Structure 1
Amino acid sequence: MSKLGTETTEIISWPEEGVTRVPYQVYMDPSVYEQEQLRIYRGPTWNFLALEAELPQSGDYKTTFVGDTPVVVTRDRDGEIRAFVNRCSHRGATVCMDSCGNTKTFTCVYHAWAFDAKGDLKGVPFRSGVEGKGGMPEDFDTSKHALHKLRIETFCGVIFGSFDPHVMPLQEYLGEKMCGYIRRVFNRPVHVLGYNRQSMNNNWKIYFENVKDSYHASILHTFFSTFGLNRLSQRGGIDMDDTGMHHVSYTYGSSNENEDTYKQANLRSFNSKYKLEDPTMLEGRKEFADGITLAIQSIFPGMVLQQIHNTLAVRQLLPKGPEKCELHWTYFGYEDDDDQMTTMRMKQSNLVGPAGFVSLEDGGVGELVQRGIVRDKDKSSFVEMGGKTVQSQEFRATETSIRGFWKRYRELMGY
C-alpha cells in the first residue's frame, strides 16, 4: 500500500514505457476511483459547470456535479454566479432536487433549513424551540453553517468551478491556445437549444480517451466517411496546450483527396452504397472563417466542446463509479441565428447525442473495452499511434492527446 493524501490506495504498477502504456487496473479499481475524486475533482482542476446562458436571470439555478459530488450553480440577486455543494449543512440531505429553475431560497425538505442563492443559511425552524423548550444552543451561529462553496470563474460565458482555493487562475489553467479555441466558438452571445443525457457502463477515462482519439472516427463511425463528413485524408491536426492535458482535434472542410488510401485499405465505410433519404440533414453554412468544419476540444478533466459542421454543443463527462459514467450534452446556437440556421442546427444534431448517427458508437465501444479487460488488471493498453511523445501534430492518425491526458493524470495521482 502507498500513502496518497489522507487515504491509502493499492500501488499501481505503471509500465516503464510511461504514457504509451496504460494499466487496465486504473479503469476498474475502486481505490483508484476514490483517489480520483480527491486528487482530481477535489484537486487543482477547473470543472465545467454550466453556460451563463442557462442562468440569464437572478434566481436561476441548475444542478450538476463535480466528479460525483452534487453541486448547485446559481445566479444571485446581484447577478453574480455562485456554486455550492448540494448537501444540507444540517444532516447532509440533498437540498435542491430539481434539475433547474428559479428561486430566492433553497429549502431542505428534511428539516426546512433555508439557504439563499449564495449558499448562506438564512432560516432554521424551531431555532428557539417550542414554548421555550429545546431549540438550538445560544452560541448557534448561522454564518458557520453555510453550504460548502466552490470557487467560480467564467470565460466567454462558460462557467467553471473548483474545490481548490489555491487553483491557478482559469485562463492560466486553460492556456493561450485553448482560450483561443473557446473564443472561436463562443464569439458572441449564445442560446441553449436543448439537452441529452446518457449513461455508459464503462469507466469515465475510457470515454475521455475516446474523445482524444482522433483516428478512430474514420473506422468506427461509418457515417462520417460514408457521407464524406470526416476522413483522415482531409487536412487537419491535433493542437495541445503546453501541459498536454487539453487538446483540440480539427478538420478542414470535405475533400476527395487521397481517397485511394481508403480504397486500398478496403474499409467498409468507403465501399458503402447507402444514401440518405433526406440529404438536407447534411446541408449547412460556412460560419467560421478559418475553414474548420469539425473541431473537438477537451478540457481536463471532463469537458468537451464540439463543432461538427453547424452543430455546437458542450459535453460534460461525469464519473458514477469505477465502471459507470454519464455524459450530459448541452446544444446551443447564437442569439442572432435566423430561423433557417436554428432549424439547420437542430437537424444536424441528429449526428450526435446518445442515438446520433455518429456518436452512438462512442456510447457503446467503451463498454466493449470494460468487458474485455475484466480479468486482466495487470495488463496494459498500447498507445503509440503517431509516436511516443506528447505534442501538437499536423495530422490526426495519432494518439498524442491520449498520451497528454495520461501525463497529467499521473502527475495528479502521484503514479
Structure 2
Amino acid sequence: MSDSKYADTASLNPKTTSYEFFGPLGAFSITIGVPILTYILYFTCNNDTSGGCPPPIQTLYPSLLQALADPAFWWKLWDPEAFALYYSWYTFCLLAWAVLPGDWVRGTQLRNGKYQQYKINAFSTCLLALGLSTGYILRFGVESFTFFYDHWVGFVSAALSMSLFQGILWRKLLALGGNSGNLIYDFYIGRELNPTVGFLDIKSFNELRPGMILWLLIDISMACTQATRLSGQITDSMVLVLFFQGLYILDALYNEPAVLTTMDIISDGFGFMLAVGDLLWARYLVFRPKVLGYAWSAAILAVNFLGYYIFRTSNNEKNEFRNGRNPKNLTYITTEQGSKLLTSGWWAVSRHPNYFGDLLMALAWSLPTGFDTPITYFYVVYFAVLLIHRQRRDDENCEKKYVECHSVSPTNILINALPYRYGKDWHRYQRLVPYRIIPYIY
C-alpha cells in the first residue's frame, strides 16, 4: 500500500481515544452477562418454577447446581430443531429482502464522501410472514404454532450464536468508537460502520427484519400456546401485550426510512451491542395467565397510547424537519455550521421526547403481567438505563459537534482560538431545552 493510501485509511478510521461502557472490562461483562441473564430469566421464571417467580434463593441455588450437572440441561440450550428453524427464518428474511419490491433510499453521507443505499421493504416482508403464519394456523390449528414457546431456550441460543458470529465479520469503514485496538471492546461496540454484502446493508437489515418481525411471530406463538392451554381462549392481558407490541413493530416497519437517521445507523458500528436482544412478557402470560378486567385494561391502554402518541408525533416532527419540511412551523436555532436544532413542539419539552414515549410504552407492556413478580419489569429498568446512556452519548456527540473546532485553516485559526466561542450554539440550545428525557424530572 502506498503512503498516500495509508494516510487516507488512517484519516478515515482514526484511532478511538475514549471508551464507553467502562471500557473493555465493561464491554466484556455485558457480552458475557447478557446471555447469562437471558438464561437466568428463563430458568428462574417458567412453567416449572415453584415457590414464586423467581423462587427463594435457598430453593433456586440447589436447583441450578443440579441443572448445571445434568448433560440434558446443556443439550437443551443447543436445540437442533430451534437452530434449524431460526436460521431458516433468517434465510427467509434475506430472500424476502432480495425478491420483494421496494424503493431504494439514499442514507446520510459517510465520512468517505459516499452514500449508502437502502432497500425499503421490511413492512411487506412482515405482511408476507404474517400471511404465511395465518394460513398455517388456519390449516393446522393454534396448537401447531406453539413451537416458539416449546423451544424457547433453543431459540435464545440460536439468536445469540448469530449475534456472536456477525459481531466479528466486518472490518472496512470503521465506526469512530470501534477502532480502539482492543478486540473485546471493538467486538462489543462494533467496528464497521456499514457492513455490506453486495447491495445488502447488514446493519439496517438486522435492525428491523429478523428480530422485529420474529418478535411479532413469537408473540403470536405465545398467544396460541395460551389458547391451547385455555381451551381456545386467551386472556385480556395477552390481548393487550400482543396489541401493544404488534402496533409498535408494525409502526417501526412501516416507517422504515426513519431508522436511517438514528444513531444506530449514522454513527454506531455493527457489533454485538446492536446484534443481541431478548423478550419476556408474552411468555410469562402463558404460564401465569392474568385476567385484568375492563377498568385495569382501560388504564393500561391509556398509558400505552399516551406513550405511542408522544413517540410517534415527536419522531414525525423530527423526520419531517430533517427532510426539509416544517408543516407545523416549528421554531429552531441555526448553528454557525448551518445545522438547525428544534426548539418548539415536542422538542421544546425535552431533548429526547421520543425516549419518554418509548419508556411509557415499555411500562404499559409490563403492566398486564400484574405485580406478582419484579422479573417482568426488568425490561422497563433495562430500557431506562439504555435510553439514558444513549441520551448521554448523543449529548456528548453534539458537544463535540458544536463545541470542538471543526477544521483548522488560516481563516478560522483565530476563531478556534477563542475559548468563549466554544459551545456557544450547543449551550444556548441546552438553556432553551433544559430537560433531557422526562420533563421536570430528568
Query: Greater share of helix residues, 1 or 2?
Result: 2
User: How high is the TM-score relative to the length of structure 2?
Assistant: 0.22
Higher strand share: 1
TM norm structure 1: 0.23
Greater RCO between the two (CA within 8 Å, min separation 6)? 1
